Structure 1
Amino acid sequence: MDDDSLTAVLRRAADRQRGFNDRFAAYFDSLTDAAGGALETPAFGRFTARALDLVRELSLRGGKRLRVVLLYEAAALVTDEPVTGLDEAAISIELLHTHGLIHDDIIDDTPVRRGGPSTYYAYLREFPDRPDTALALAVLAGDLAAFLSVRVLLGSGLPPALALAMAAVHADVGATTITGQILDLERDFHPEPSTDLLNAVTEYKSTRYSVLAPLRLGLLAAGADPSEHDGELRRYATALGIANQIHDDWLDLFGDAETLGKSPGSDIRSGRRSYAVRALLAAADKSERELLDAALGDPDGDEETLDRVRDIARAHGIDRSLRAEAERHAREAAALAATWRGRWRPDAVALFTLLPTWTVARDR
């Protein structure tokens, strides 16, 4: 790979991210503007305002914004002119992501997200003597983010046909993501799930909304019909999504806490059968398996235990094999994108071709 080409692609992606972050902050300002906010809220009480604050805080705190980059670049496949609807679609998909993060952190009992308290734990700190209230408010904050994500599209002033088509994509992927979350919970009832099951969880829980939906929304906004390219878009999304998830699982076991913005080892402590955990269980001998069985699902597992799990993984070459598998799927995605040359705009095709490499090389 040409390092200069990758640098240029990453610079353009970073520009997309920065520009979106400003627009995202402005969106939240518009909801609560003192001169007449766009969202009508009750005049009484403080809980509604606090829920909005926490949704805003988590949404703006960070994240890779991969969905945003994919969405804008999908439109750039078709045209280099400004495209109506991209900002609304990007805000919409990121609000759906916020919804998912809030609910994931409830399900997984996660204290830290993006370098700060998860929404659930923020409420637990505010209501230490009323955990049921904290849980209810966190669920409702996640619900608020989900409904705001649809509202962005339907209340945006976009041409009605475009708004409806985008909302249809959004509603479909939202429902699909929930089915993926349900399958994710079922997965952990399988002591050693198959790769096919893990791939299905990845596709439905994250790939459909993190990769495929942005591609469809970007093409729609640019005036193209994504259904004409559905097969290849799905194949690209699947390969990129699996590469991304395997690398996320690698980071959860081998990543640095400060860089990640959260403590590694959450999959071990929660007992989640991730790609990394599956590889560990398949490779471990009897004595190693005893340690793993004790560590898996122990929320109080200490760093010493986690270090021993890492040692087992490294002894079996799992750190290297996971990286190799992620890179294999990334190469598959890149090869698929390379076939778009000659049909779509070359600079956007270059980004889709080179982006998978970044996906499996990032450190957070």
Structure 2
Amino acid sequence: MSSDAYAAGLAADRARVDAFLARLFDASQAPVPRLEAAMRHALLVGGKRLRPVLVYLAGRALGARAEALDAPAAAIELIHAYSLVHDDLPAMDDDDLRRGQPTVHRAYDEATAILAGDALQTLAFEVLARASHPRLPALMLTLAQAAGREGMVGGQALDLAAVGGHPDVEALANMHAHKTGALIRAAVRLGALTAVEEHDPRVAALDTYARALGLAFQIHDDVLDVIGDTHTLGKASGADAARDKPTYPALLGLDGAMARAHELTDEALAALAPLGEAGSPLAALARYMIERDH
């Protein structure tokens, strides 16, 4: 796949999920306009849309139609958006910027931000529940487990507990496998299960890909927090060091962290072998993950 074709496909998938998400609000009666505005601020102002793109790429690689992938793609982005709203709160990371805009609790207020996050989370399951799919229970379970105590929320708890501590690389990897990796794995699995049954061997291959990709993504994020700038990142750079958070550059050095990200990317690429040429867009995304500047 050429770089131009890949970029065009990526832009099309982002536009597709953005349109789907925008329609959720167009159809709403907006009983509480301020809450609705805060939700839109959290969800519709920029973002890489990595997780919904993964849903589309994994699903299409196994033969799913784009229309069948819209709801899972939107659902996982809603979960991601809610997590960012809560992650930015004063009780968590107390961030002022997200995607180049004031965080929700800064643009509105803390209570509204909490409620907006809650509403985005429940909307994710509403969107998925309305989808007509024979494997809907498996899709719902995938999203719930990835978002909850066994996944992202558990990872956030580990992250908060690690501030000021000195975990080793294995403990740091475990934290990120939950906080960041769980939703990335879920995105790939949602796409795969929309297309085929769980016992299809390509589902396991895609899970191996997603595990490696999720950790490579987080390591590169840690690197960008050191070498990036606030304008490009859309959030404050150097925030991890300022909060005394454990990171891969702190444990391995910048060169060591970047080398580990490349090793994991190679693992992700190798896992795609059973998909043949159908896996090439997923391979291109894996390479992009460690080349991006934000």
TM-score of the superposed pair, with normalisation by structure 2: 0.91
Indicate whether 1:328 and 2:263 are aligned. Answer: yes
From 239, 250, 256, the equivalent of 2:223 is 250
**Gaps spanning 5+ residues in structure 1: where?**
42-47, 124-133, 280-317
Percent of aligned pairs sharing the same letter: 33
Deviations 1:282-309 (A, max 9, x none): xxxxxxxxxxxxxxxxxxxxxxxxxxxx
What letter is aligned with 1:322?
A
CA deviations 1:273-329 (Å, max 9, x no partner) are 1212334xxxxxxxxxxxxxxxxxxxxxxxxxxxxxxxxxxxxxx333322221121
Judge conservation of contact 1:96–1:149 (CA < 8 Å) in 2.
yes
Q: CA deviation at 1:98?
A: 0.7
Quote the Cα distance in structure 2 between the aligned partners of 1:350 and 1:330.
14
CA–CA separation in structure 2 for the residues paired with 1:93 and 1:141: 16
Letter in 2 for 1:117: P
Structure 1 Cα separation of the partners of residues 44 and 199 of structure 2: 29
Equivalent position to 1:208, from 164, 179, 182: 182
Q: Cα gap change, 1:155/1:19 in structure 2, threshold over 3 Å: closer, same or farther?
A: closer
Q: What is the CA distance between 1:207 and its match in structure 2?
A: 1.0
- Aligned to 1:102, which of 80, 85, 90? 85
Matches within 5 A, 1:307-322: 318-322=253-257
Q: Amino acid of the residue matched to residue 51 of structure 2? A: R
Q: Match of 1:162?
A: 135
The match for 1:233 among 206, 210, 227 is: 206
Q: Secondary structure at 2:174's aligned position in 1?
A: helix
1:362 is matched with: 292
Q: Cα offset for 1:247?
A: 0.7
Shift of 1:187: 2.0
Does structure 2 retain, via aligned residues, the 8 Å contact 1:249–1:275?
yes
Q: Residue 362 of structure 1: SS of its match in structure 2? A: coil
Spell out, residue by residue over 1:324-360, the C-alpha distance to the aligned partner (whole angstroms, 9 max, x if none): 221121122112113432xxxx2x3111222211100
Taking structure 1 as reference, are residues 6 and 332 closer, same or farther at Cα in structure 2, changes over 3 Å only?
farther
TM-score, normalised with respect to structure 1: 0.74
Pair 1:230–1:339, CA change in 2 (3 A): closer
Once the two structures are TM-superposed, the CA of residue 189 in structure 1 deviates from its matched residue by 5.0
Q: Deviations over 1:65-105 (max 9, x none)?
A: 111111111111222x6354311111110000011000110
**Cα shift at 1:180:** 1.1
Q: Does structure 2 conserve the Cα–Cα contact (< 8 Å) formed by 1:83 and 1:222?
A: no
CA contact (8 A) 1:17 1:65 kept: yes
RMSD of equivalent CA atoms: 2.0
Equivalences for residues 42-61 of structure 1 within 5 A: 48-61=32-45
Question: What is the distance in 2 between the residues matched to 1:319 and 1:262?
Answer: 20
Q: Does the CA contact (< 8 Å) of 2:217 and 2:261 recur in 1?
A: yes
CA distance in 2, matches of 1:28, 1:224: 32
| 2:37 is aligned with 1:30 | no
Contact 1:83–1:221 (CA<8 Å) still a contact in 2? no
Secondary structure at the aligned position of 2:180 is classed as: helix
Please say if 1:19 is aligned against 2:16.
yes
Residues in 2 aligned to 1:118 and 1:325: alpha-carbon distance in whole angstroms: 31
Q: Is the 8 A contact 1:92 1:153 kept in 2?
A: yes
Q: Following the alignment from structure 1 to structure 2, what is the Cα–Cα distance between the partners of residues 218 and 249? A: 27
Secondary structure of 1:31's counterpart equals coil
Offset of 1:114 from its aligned partner? Answer: 0.4
Aligned residues: 290
- How far did 1:226 drift? 5.8
The answer to whether the 8 Å contact 1:337/1:349 transfers is: yes
Residue type at the aligned position of 2:124: S
Per the TM alignment, residue 228 of structure 1 is displaced from its structure 2 partner at its CA by: 4.6
AA at the equivalent of 1:137: T
Cα distance, 1:227 vs structure 2: 6.9
2:51 is aligned, of 46, 54, 67, to 67
The correspondence for 1:269, drawn from 230, 242, 247, is 242
What residue number does 1:188 align with?
A: 163
The corresponding residue for 2:173 is 199
User: Partners of 2:192 and 2:199 in 1: how far apart?
Assistant: 6
Larger radius of gyration: 1
Which letter maps to 1:235? T
